[in-house]
Structure 1
Amino acid sequence: MKSIFIDCSLGISGDMLASALFDLGVPKYIFLDNLVSLNIDKNYNFKFNVGDSEGIKGIVCTKTEIQFKELYKSLNDIKNLLLGSNLNDYVKKKSIRVFEILAEAEAIVHGNQISDVHFHEVGSIDSILDVVNVCSAIDFLKPHKIYFSNPPSGKGIVSTSHGPLPVPVPTVLEIARQKKIPLTLLDDIYFGEITTPTGIALIATFIDNFDKPDKIKIEKIGVGLGTKNICRPNFLRVLLIDDYYIENKKPSYETIISQEAWIDDSTPEDVAVLIERLRSAGAIDVICYSVDMKKNRKGICIQAIVYPKYKNLLREVWFNYSTTIGIRENNISRWILPRRTVSHETTFGTVNIKQVIRPNGQISIKIEHKDLTRITLNTGIPIEEIRQKLIIELSGFYELDEWSF
């Protein structure tokens, strides 16, 4: 499965990310169509040109200088522009979400209601187009996952429409706080903004995980250059990766999180609801068993295992929907076999099948039990009989079709 890793360790802005995605291979017409879809003045244009930054080759986006009669300052103005455009629903939804994140942060920074927020720099046509370009490029690539490196905070003071502000500017800092985005302190000779509000809002909108996966196969690299001359390389790169790369059919190593609590003051019905909430919030699985607690009280140990990207969401479930006042959390190392779940047409209709490759190269399959349950309820045929018929019918599905090694 193809994913993208966005390395923004030297900084991120909307135009840098759009340029890197163009360099990665997103066709130019994807970006040019946005001008038509947004009904932007026909004289307005932008170009992706090859350039370099302190010897690093990449793509820089240059835009025409035009004074627009109408400026889109409020969140509602920008929403109306996007909703009234001919952009597809995905690009509209993601672009609006970027500006909602910006508005939520601005409202807190200035002590206003979101409806009273007025954008300045990020409300310009240039910024709106940068956001739409990034969203449409990601829609074109349709990555399985999007990984980001931790963005740098920058340092110094910058001039804004509000006057001089410290770096990172309050909006960037607030988005980092709200969305729990870790900022790195870069040992940098440059004093100024290198992670822009638009850049960090794009991270908050698209982030699946921070840091690159443990093992990747790099397919292509795109480099986007910044427009500032900061006396050091100023670029962002996007890696197209195959994070489902299987090497020699061997098990792969990964780190997951274990969260656990012992509870002795909830009914079994309440525990059942909690377990379902944990699973719905992204837990890989949840188990529970009886434990003897202090003072010989009978309690229930509930343990959830979860991918790191969902750990914060599960913590909220623990503390909002259970009686516990603390949870134990540990990193767990595990080895997993290459596996995938795919749909297959059968005489009983569409069924989902988990396919696994063993280290010796053998393939095993398991039919999803919920599909077996659905079929037996609809047909009255016993589950075991359905399972046996499907195994015979799917015998050809043991092949390695569409698997990459």
Structure 2
Amino acid sequence: MIQVTSDNIGTVLDELTSAGASDIQFKTGQPPLIGLQGAWTPQTHYEILTGQVVENIHEKLCHDQRYKQIPEKGPWDADYRTSTATSNFRVSGGKELGRPYLVLRPLPRDIPDFSKLKLLDDVLGPPPGTGHLTDGFRHALHQKRGLILVTGPTGSGKSTTLASFVNHVNQTRPYNIITIEDPVEFMFRSQKSHILQREVGRDTDSFSSALRASLRQKPDIILVGEMRDAETIDAAFRAAATGHLVMSTLHNNEAAQTVERIINEFPAGQQTRVRHQLSEVLVGIFAQQLVPTLDGGRQIILESMVLTPEMRTTLRPKPAGEGADNYLQGLRDSMVVKSPYGNRTMDSELKRAVKNNVISEEVAREFAIQLGQWDKERA
């Protein structure tokens, strides 16, 4: 059996990444675990880890004094970026029943372009009469102001998609781009654009404070790693409304759910205002999931909602007395209309993947958004 130590941790991480790990976990009382197609798999050819070994690994990987020592008593959480000879990683750490653990996510070392995202449109081509998903990306990124959101569950590749957005602008436009991340995952080199990257906890106290400060630094584009609270969302609205293009993420599987999530972050008395603001500043929402394929891999399935004038009208609150205000279903219905920007729903893409033998129907049902509607159409 192979012993894991702070001295060979770089080699171990590279070997586990080469084995196809989407995530790597070091936990007291277990051998290293790797995520393969959504399941944790023990790597039993390595020895069981002790708490001291996990602490030693953490101190070897971390280059930041904030997290250099795990406190003997009290809570501990860490989130930072590290690297080995061949790979980069995002590291999250914490305690379980008083014992430390680490979870590492391998990050691509190369900045991705759209072709590296391996979209379903790249495999099958876009649906008839509808533009390629990347046509929607380009349209959204060519706007001078507004809000672009990439959404999906943890581990669905949101950061990679956002990085491809920044990369596209960096290669094509002379913009000033400020990123606010926790932690910084992809390291950009300025090309046509000038890029300034700030890390929460190291360079700034919070997303919202950094977002407010960035408005005084003449940015064209602001990337906010995650909109975690109403304060950050409000600051993003203000930035988007005052001539900036803002990009961020949320943990939602569907565009319409994302709209509802944003509105519900605010008290009831402010929700009408928020809907008005969204109808004015929202450029597009791209919701994505990573789905197991029939050949043992994973396929990104992406829903696209690039705002049209009709969608903005649907999103605005109706005056009292003008009938039902089912704006969420209205948004879903408008996404079915064929669009040069590649608009489509998550469920329609899952069905297309099933029809073309990319994924199984059982898997598609597991990832479906409106399962009741799915079953109704199958009946």
Q: State the TM-score, normalizing by the size of structure 1.
A: 0.21
Q: State the TM-score, normalizing by the size of structure 2.
A: 0.22
* Bigger Rg, which one: 1
Larger proportion of strand? 1
Name which structure has the greater RCO, CA cutoff 8 Å, separation 6+: 1
